[in-house]
Amino acid sequence: MVQKSGHRHRDRRERLPDILSIHMRNGRIFHRASRKKCAGEAIRTEKIMSEARKTDICGLELNEFEALLKQDGEKPFRARQVYRWIFVEGERDFEKMTDLPAALRAKLAGKYEASPCAIERRSVSGDKMAVKYALRLFDDNIVEAVKIYDGDELDKYTVCVSTQVGCPVNCAFCQTAKMGFIRNLDAAEIVGQVIAAAFDGEGSPEGLSNIVYMGMGEPLLNYDSVVKSVRIINSPDALNISMRKITISTAGVAPMMKKLMAEAMPLTLALSLHAPDDALREKLVPLNKKYNIKTLIDTLKIYVETTKRRVTIEYVLIDGVNDRKSDARKLSELLKGLMCHVNLIPMNKTEGKYAAPSRGKISEFKNILAAGGINVTVRSSRGQDINAACGMLYKELKSKKNIE
């Protein structure tokens, strides 16, 4: 809820990074380019969110759920039983949790729900290696998640999750940026995407190997919900995914990157860099006007020193924009001495003006980095035919609920 106190408004502004491309209004963030549309949607969402909602167990850490059950006069150990039904069995109907007393099942149904994401539509890529999910939320907004299989046997897969409806960062080549920003997701809505993908059809979480926060939105501008969702996903009593198998990608919100390193979570931090110098990056990633490349690289060096974890550099290769030999040499020099891995990502086909370089230019760029001692790979982009690849999660999102 929006606070009425002017002091509280000022406090919230001070805590939130002052991003050039973001507009603050009554404690809520809007993308300037689509302020009217986003403001109207936010008011509608605010009204819906103000109505009573059941507590979603997918957004509760185990100790929180135990405490709530204890307050209701129930034994705390019941929390683990419910967790097992939801996160291991994929059961959302409390009445079917047969090892719970009938009275408790009724109580749970009256106060709680499990998994807030309903699969509105699924699209399977031609090679069967990626599945895109359009997921409808309680307020009729839609986000997307993608299941990406890791091998031909389809026995292991990664789930890519969204953290916001839309995105306020406005990267020039990103399709999601066209939505503007509508709202943050809560922890349950983030975890719910993983559950929806894991238990789709005959699926189970047994093959779930990695989680990547690389869908719609800027994860570090929804910091608290993202960190809480990571803890739930990591919990041995929930999805039990190792921290080392979780990646959070950011466009470069330096203060939140520093805050993340203090969480003592050995996950992977990925920086979406996309340019070797400030002049070019400011055109591609407007956030760079607030946190420039030197600030970000210095922050990454501190992150590596503090966490002892290698960081990932994401670099979308765009034909004629950031793919020159000189760009590769600048990037190699920039990353020298940083414990990192570079993912080169050929630009996906979109309706915009950008395109991927030729295979020859991609190989040439990679070889220059490798010759400079940089650990580098070209990332294969699965699911392009269903618009599931990076930067393409907007194109098929045509719900009148959140897009004109």
Active site residues: 144, 390
Q: At what angle do helices 359-371 and 325-335 cross, to 10 degrees?
A: 30
In angstroms, the CA 135 to CA 122 distance is: 9
CB burial readout 279-301, b (16+ within 10 A) else e: ebbbebbbbbebbbbebbbebbe
In angstroms, the CA 236 to CA 234 distance is: 6
CA-wise closest residue to 288 among 309, 312, 271, 310: 271
Which residues is 30 bridged to in the sheet? 23
CA-wise closest residue to 170 among 286, 301, 318: 286
CA-wise closest residue to 366 among 358, 356, 354, 378: 378
CA-wise closest residue to 281 among 380, 169, 168, 378: 169
The owner of tokens 């129930």 is 74
Torsion of CA 370, 348, 290, 15, to 10 degrees: -110
Which residues is 314 bridged to in the sheet? 272, 343
